[in-house]
């Protein structure tokens, strides 16, 4: 049977976590203007590439809502393997929806039949990345909450 980690390891993990948090906060304070400028540039970049047609806008919104659902659903599956599946599956299916798989002769005729037109590959990739970020922003807090509740439950059982 494997031994649990020792008290020294737990203490050092806490110290390293605290040092990391302080270092990140100091870097944010020191480079606040640059961080803000990059955030503004990134936001402008993404929203300047918002699709023009209503059908494409609707498909992006539906994709982002599905990304939220996937993030929540896969967080219930647990652990970061599920996160890897969700964060890869959603953008890949999004890209397949818009671009098909030309090597196998699969062309995205369904987008034309739905009246969506063709979205440029750059925008398809951009919104796929945004979907992966949304999955991350949903999954990580839910996973951390689950770990917190599990830890709280373990502490309550030992009392």
The pLDDT, as a whole number, for residue 41 is: 92
The pLDDT, as a whole number, for residue 4 is: 62
pLDDT tens, residue by residue, 103-159: 666 676 667 777 777 788 888 889 999 999 998 888 888 888 877 887 777 766 665
The pLDDT, as a whole number, for residue 13 is: 82
DSSP-derived secondary structure for 69-86: HHHHHHHHH-HHHHHHHH
DSSP designation for 51 = -
The pLDDT, as a whole number, for residue 37 is: 92
pLDDT tens, residue by residue, 50-85: 888 888 888 889 989 988 888 888 877 767 778 888
Flag whether the pTM goes above 0.75: no
The pLDDT, as a whole number, for residue 23 is: 92
Distances (CA, A) of 16 to 6, 22, 26, 116, 144: 16, 10, 15, 50, 18
Distances (CA, A) of 97 to 55, 126, 153: 14, 14, 43
pLDDT tens, residue by residue, 84-103: 888 888 888 888 888 777 66
Per-residue pLDDT for 1 more than 50?
no
């Amino acid at each position: 049977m494997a031994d649990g980690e020792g008290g020294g390891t737990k203490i050092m993990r806490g110290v390293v976590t605290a040092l990391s948090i302080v270092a990140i906060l100091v870097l944010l304070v020191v480079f606040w203007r640059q961080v803000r400028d990059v955030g503004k540039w990134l936001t402008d970049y993404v929203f300047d590439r918002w699709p023009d047609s209503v059908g494409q806008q609707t498909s992006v919104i539906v994709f982002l809502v599905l990304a939220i659902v996937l993030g929540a659903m896969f967080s219930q599956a647990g652990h970061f393997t599920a996160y890897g599946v969700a964060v890869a599956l959603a953008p890949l299916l999004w890209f397949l929806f818009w671009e098909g798989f030309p090597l196998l002769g699969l062309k995205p005729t369904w987008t034309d039949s739905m009246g969506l037109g063709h979205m440029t590959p750059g925008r398809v990739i951009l919104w796929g990345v945004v979907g992966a970020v949304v999955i991350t922003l949903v999954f990580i807090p839910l996973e951390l909450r689950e770990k917190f509740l599990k830890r709280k439950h373990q502490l309550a059982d030992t009392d």
